[in-house]
Structure 1
Amino acid sequence: RDTGGRGGEPMGAVAPVGPRALAILLSCPALVEPQHHETILAKAYSLVEILGSDERAALVAEWAQAPQAQLRHAVRCAHEFIIIAVLENSLSDPIDEPVANAVGALGLLYAASEGSAHALEFSAFTNDAINAELAADETLLRQDHRRWQQANVFSLCAHAFVLEPAAKASVLKLSSMDQMSSEFEGAFFRSMFTRSMHSPFLLLRVRRDHLIRDSLHQLAARAAELKKPLKVHFIGEEGVDEGGVQKEFFHLVVRQLFDPVWGMFIQDDTTREFWFNQNSFESNREFELIGTLIGLAIYNSVILDVRFPHVVYKKLTRRPCGFADLARAFPALAHGLQQVLEHAGDVRELCLTFAVSHEVYGERKVVELIPNGAEVEVTNDNCREYVDKYAEHVLHTSIARQFQAFNTGFSAVCGGPALELFRWEELELLICGNPNLDFEALQRATVYDDGFSAVHPTIELFWEVLHGLEIELKRRFLIFSTGSDRVPINGLGSLQFVISRHGSDESRLPSAHTCFNHLLLPEYKTAEVMRKQLLMAIQDTEGFHIV
């Protein structure tokens, strides 16, 4: 065939090439060199593009069975081809056919890696040139997002493995903004035609001392409005929600729901992470509320301080979970089960059956892992099955009611194609933020106003003092100045942080507009005064009546 794949110009007659030959050819290290890109790689990627479904499956199988080094060579060739093509011509709208063909081939390599016993790290498939272009020009991502919503049109969003988590977060934000805009306009026109008030916002009016009750009641009553832009008002307070009030709302409500007093979650002694309490007396509504709140936080671009084990994110993305996940989430329990597997003698000596028991408020409860499990001994022959069933019980069966309610609340807000771009590892970053507190990056990205500049003596003192604080005090500063101590998925350098001069009276404390990440800093003259006033300001970070 002489077609270029996606309806492009003919690329010249080429001989038919089978999947095995293509797998070997595209894994050749020599093809990394630019002189081979147009003569060999471009034509080979166009051949991959026109393969039928059976041939594609065969090519994936060939790569999945290949040594890891061969798979890595093929991935490197595709990346180098894309990088040079993008550097020479930039990303276009629509994407140039050679680049699209190479991304398509990279997608088959990604599928092969996922099914291989020697899988590559998922970050091996992100392309630096593509992400650099998207980061430099946000209109490119908007254009690609529009293409993604069309049928039979190539888009990078449909090949999310090439995108960094930050780019995926931007796609999710675009999708959220589109839905919010649609809901906003719908409420406006309904108000016009029905002559009744329909708020364009999801407005929550809550009392601090009845936070959970008010949140439950209002979210249940406004279930159809969850995709409107969120506004929060603390009754009796003056704060206007331009973003900062909702940050505090999420912080407080999550802290209360994870409090041991509520009994909804238990904390592992080793990891200090929270897991669903299988014996909780709380109704499904409370667990659904947690899921809804996490969904709302994602939808409204708020980072949360939640400490779930990784397996929660795997479950949310419908990834299989087993003993390895149990070992990471509950290391002490997994260690005991591993000892059963490694027992040198007769496992029957351990007197185990296919049943587990645990105490529920003073009473002993027995749960069978298989039918009549209490009567089935664990032996050397079935101990692997016992461990797997135990892991399934802990991770799935025992908390099925609680997790299903949680997942229902989460999906009510966040279910949709945009969220499916994320792997579970990236979903954790999206919810909890980047763990790296890089204040040097924040300093480089900061903008100054009202007479301040990067070289102003007060600003130099400010960064000297801030960099010298302990990590916990730095987190308090973030809460004070931005409303959250969590870092966006693409780091502190992505914050639009502003510092303005706030007079010359050194007796005044710094203040902040958290909704705008805006610090108001008096013109302190010494490091001693700067440190004293800054520490006093960040001690009490709850409440927006002062800001």
Structure 2
Amino acid sequence: MSSKRKLDDYADEVLLPTNPIRMRKDQSASSSNSTRPRSPLQFFVRILSDHTLVLHADSSDTIESIHHKIQAITGIPLYEQRIIYRGKQLQLEHTLSHCKVQNDASLHLVGRMRSTGHPQAWQLVNDIVSLIFKLCKNNHVPVPATKTVKTMLAEFLSMTPRIEIEKASGHLQIFSGTSVPAALVMLYMSSHRPNRTAADEAIRHFLTSSKTILPTHMLHEFVPLILEFCNLLKKAAGIDDPLYCLCRSSLGEMVGDMEVGLGVKKLKTGLPDIFPFVSELAEKLSHDLVLSTESMFFPGPLLGDISDFSSFVAPIMKEIEGNVMFLGLPLTEDLRGIPQGYADEIRMLYVIFDDLLSKLERWLGKIEDRMNSDLKQDTDTLSVGSCHYLTFLKVLNNISKIYSGCEGLFWEAMKRRKGAFCYLIVKCAKRSEDHTWILECKEVTNFEARRHLAMMMLPEVKDEYGELHEMLIDRSHLLAESFEYMKHAKNESLRAGLFMEFKNEEATGPGVLREWFFLVCQAIFNPQNALFVACSNDRRRFYPNPASKVDPLHLQYFVFSGKVIALALMHKIQVGIVFDRLFFLQLAGHTITLEDIKDADPYLYSSCKQILEMDSEAIDQDALGLTFVHEVEELGTRKTVDLCADGRSISVNSENRRQYVDSLIQHRFVIAIADQVKHFSQGFDEIMTPRSSQKSFFQCLEPEDLDWMLHGSESTISVDDWKAHTEYHGFKETDDQISWFWKIVGDMTAEQKKILLFFWTSIKYLPVEGFNGLGSRLYIYKTSESSERLPSSHTCFYRLCFPAYPTSDVMHDRLSIITQEHVGCSFGTW
């Protein structure tokens, strides 16, 4: 870590006057100057007319006195004169000795006010510097509110030309050319708190304004100035200083999307200027990672440091990737072919990558230790302070792409720490961030992580009832009326959420909505409605029906189906159906192969396998008698369709049989249902968040993931798990009625348990996590009603209500009635 330097040392470097605070209290600036030894100097001053003046003065003379001499000789007014020495403008308060003007030195006189297009700006920055000098010499200089350093700086920035980039550049160069950044940093380093505060406010205002003063395509003009502030503050205050950190963040934010190059380019800043910040931040991140690993209570790298690291790495990576054709692994000393100027950065960036990856892997190991220790409170606390580590990993993954083979090293490390990596995804991945990089290696994710990434592409369910889309549905016309409601609803309204009621029923709320989703999905995928076909090998699995065109509205119904499924996923409701593999893969944009039709059409699958495995000699003798055609049924009639041009005249042989099988599969399961898949995708897309698509949603998942999300748990309902997640109001767990209840439930068939659960919660299929995945406990309430009454439920709140039945037989009788399919459905009250 850099330590703070003495202000005297720093001030000398930037050619500023010595900090008056460091003088003895009984000394003033004037008395100090009067005691300095007088040293005669001869020097030359080149003026605008290319004439050179030869002047003599003492080393203790001020620059102001030299200006007076020049005015006496040339007649150039004092306010128009600017003297430049060694690339810096000399300030009036300096002495020749302090400015290190040597004997026979050459100075340049420039009439800035007369030659520049920004005379007011020059005058204003000169006033700013003069005010700063006065403040440094006398801590108690009265400054009017309208002429503070901040207000004068704001006035200068407001004068910046906003249309012509050359004028804007010239205007901002005045700021640096007159040493305003150095003067402000000198004021910031003052031990007088008001001075320090004034400089802090002024520099912060400059940083904030730099993001808005100019149009986006001209913002790079501020980069050299912010870089100068960074370098000055780093030397004077150190890298832990908050104002320095803010300057560094502002610089990183500005250069993140810009090109830097090797030298002075559009940005006027090159790799040598930017890379030191990468090294500095990498060292800090590495140090903090070690501390965080040794003690998991240490906060570790801060989000700001990680964000800055990412910002500075981005333009460097662009430059390297754009100019370096090949990089070996791990990194050899032989860097022939790499443009001069890149080799050092390439070596250093690899070292940074290797160091940070190894330390991050050890930190992830500590996370896994905590996860396995079952210290839930500690783990939750850990997740709160560690969410930005996912951003850190993303940056390292980006760096790994520069080097051949390093990306593999990164993913191997994540595989070794898969548990912690997935934990970070679930706990920390946010909707506003891009997570596509994670899906480049889905093997390092588990179901929970993939589900979380996919769900972030769907809108969040809102609880504000005023914004929900309302639907009033007649059960006897469930599918048709639901279709009409969806058809005329605005997508924004559907994304906001749904409020459901059934006609002539009092029940409302989430429980009714869950029931509607279950019922409408059962109707959509009912083969009798001809929209979807159930697989022969698994009647829970469906894919679009090629013959759905028997209904003129079938494509609109597929749009409706896509919306319903997206909304069911958005509301996290299991509807008891799953997609066949071939349907899922097409939604994800993947190619369908023979193995993918195994469940959809086992007979065709078997036939195609036989064709591919048949003896070549037999098939070449036309033993099959096949040509490149297939038969399809359309509106009750069968017709023959060519699989390729003139397919009827092309016989299937040993050389083209693979092509025949592939063409048959494409026509039967892709081309035949292309319109249906397209319109289903359209409906699904209309519910997605604006930056997402159904294709990216399904690409996030494995087919089995969607099974669990749509169908839920395939395990038999566990009564013990059910009981463990149930609480009682009015009853005690030891009451006879509760003992009888669980005994009766335990003796029910699997279907009866599902019906009871549906009656209780409007959920027939549990999440894959079981009752723990419901997000709420279940409740049994005691009522004061007669024992003749049947149980009732409040499905919104997962409440089952019944009186204190006198015997087990009476309770069994009442529960038997509600576990009949036609009774258990829609029996809840609200």
Whether TM-score is above 0.5 comes out as yes
Q: CA RMSD in A?
A: 4.5
Q: 2:515 corresponds to which letter in structure 1?
A: E
CA contact (8 A) 1:8 1:97 kept: no
Letter in 2 for 1:377: S
CA contact (8 A) 1:480 1:514 kept: yes
Find out whether 1:429 has 2:678 as its counterpart.
no
Q: Is the 8 A contact 1:449 1:500 kept in 2?
A: yes
Q: Identify the match of residue 739 of structure 2 among 460, 465, 478.
A: 460
Letter in 1 for 2:558: F
TM-score, normalised with respect to structure 1: 0.72
Partner residue in 1 for 2:722: 443
Structure with bigger RCO (C-alpha 8 Å, 6+ apart) = 1
Aligned twin of 2:570: 299
Alpha-carbon contact 2:721-2:771 (below 8 Å) kept: yes
Q: Which residue of 2 aligns with 1:507?
A: 788
Task: Report how far residue 528 of structure 1 moved.
Answer: 3.7
Partner of 2:645: 371
CA distance in 1, matches of 2:708, 2:328: 35
Cα shift readout 1:233-280 (whole Å, capped 9, x = no counterpart)? 22232222x112122222222222333332222333333233322122
Letter paired with 2:590: R
**2:511 corresponds to:** 244
Aligned partner of residue 633 in structure 2, secondary structure = strand
1:498 is matched with 778
TM-superposed CA distance for 1:444, in Å, is: 5.6
Partner of 2:819: 538
What is aligned with 2:242? Answer: none
Cα separation, 2, equivalents of 1:11 and 1:2: 14
* Structure 2 residues without counterparts, runs of 5 or longer: 1-274, 288-292, 295-308, 331-356, 371-378
Q: Counterparts of 1:12 and 1:262 in 2: how far apart (Å)?
A: 62
Q: Secondary structure at the match of 1:203?
A: strand
Q: Show the counterpart of 2:758.
A: 479
TM-score by length of 2: 0.49
Alignment correspondent of 1:222 = 489
Give the superposition deviation at 1:424: 3.6
Query: Following TM superposition, by how much is the alpha carbon of 1:285 offset from its aligned partner in structure 2, in angstroms?
Result: 0.7
Secondary structure in 2 aligned to 1:204?
Answer: strand
8 Å CA contact retained: 2:791, 2:815: yes
Identity fraction in percent: 22
Greater Cα offset, 389-398 or 535-544: 535-544
Stretch deviating more after TM superposition (359-368 or 333-342): 359-368
1:516 and 2:787 are equivalent in the alignment: no
Query: How do residues 309-458 of structure 1 correspond to structure 2 at under 5 angstroms?
Result: 309-344=580-615, 345-347=617-619, 348-414=622-688, 417=692, 419=697, 421-440=700-719, 442-443=721-722, 445-458=724-737
**What is the aligned partner in structure 1 of residue 447 from structure 2?**
165
The CA deviation at 1:507 is 3.2
Deviates more, 1:474-483 or 1:3-12: 3-12
Determine the C-alpha separation between the residues in 1 that align with 2:759 and 2:601: 34
CA distance in 2, matches of 1:358, 1:443: 49
Written as runs of structure 1 = structure 2, the 5 A alignment for 1:108-187 is 127-129=418-420, 140-141=427-428, 144-145=429-430, 149-150=432-433, 164-166=446-448, 169=451, 178=460, 180=462
Tell me the SS of whatever aligns to 1:379.
coil
Q: Secondary structure at the match of 2:472?
A: strand
For the residue of structure 1 that corresponds to 2:507, the secondary structure is coil
1:220-240 deviation per Cα after TM superposition (whole angstroms, max 9, x unaligned): 211332212111122232222
Unaligned runs of 5+ in 1: 14-33, 36-45, 61-74, 189-198
CA 535–382 in structure 1, closer or farther in 2 if over 3 Å, else same: same
Indicate the residue corresponding to 1:69 in structure 2. none
In our comparison, the structure showing a higher alpha carbon Rg is: 2
Distance in 1 (CA, whole Å) between partners of 2:282 and 2:389 is 7
Query: Matched residues in 1 for 2:710 and 2:624: separation?
Result: 42
Cα deviation digits, residues 428-470 of structure 1 (max 9, x gap)? 3222223224425633642413233444443333223223322
Q: In the TM superposition, what is the alpha-carbon distance from 1:367 to its structure 2 partner? A: 1.8
Equivalent residues in 2 for 1:270-281, closer than 5 Å: 270-272=537-539, 273-280=541-548, 281=550
Identify if the C-alpha distance between structure 1 residues 447 and 100 changes in structure 2 by more than 3 Å, giving closer, same or farther: farther
User: How far has the Cα of 1:497 moved from its partner?
Assistant: 3.3
Partners of 2:436 and 2:702 in 1: how far apart? 21
Q: Give the partner amino acid of 2:666.
A: E
1:333-353 deviations in Å (ceiling 9; x for gaps): 100111111122422210111
CA contact (8 A) 2:532 2:542 kept: yes
The one-letter code sitting in structure 2 at the alignment partner of 1:9 is E
2:365 paired with 1:83: yes
The aligned amino acid for 1:290 is S
Whole-angstrom CA distance in 1 between matches of 2:613 and 2:530: 35
CA deviation string 1:500-520 (max 9, x = no partner): 232365433222112222222
- From 533, 555, 559, give the equivalent of 1:288: 559
Counterpart Cα distance in 1 of 2:327 and 2:736: 64
CA 219–5 in structure 1, closer or farther in 2 if over 3 Å, else same? farther
Question: Offset of 1:529 from its aligned partner?
Answer: 3.6
- Give the C-alpha shift of residue 157 in structure 1: 10
Q: What is the count of residue pairs matched by the alignment? A: 471
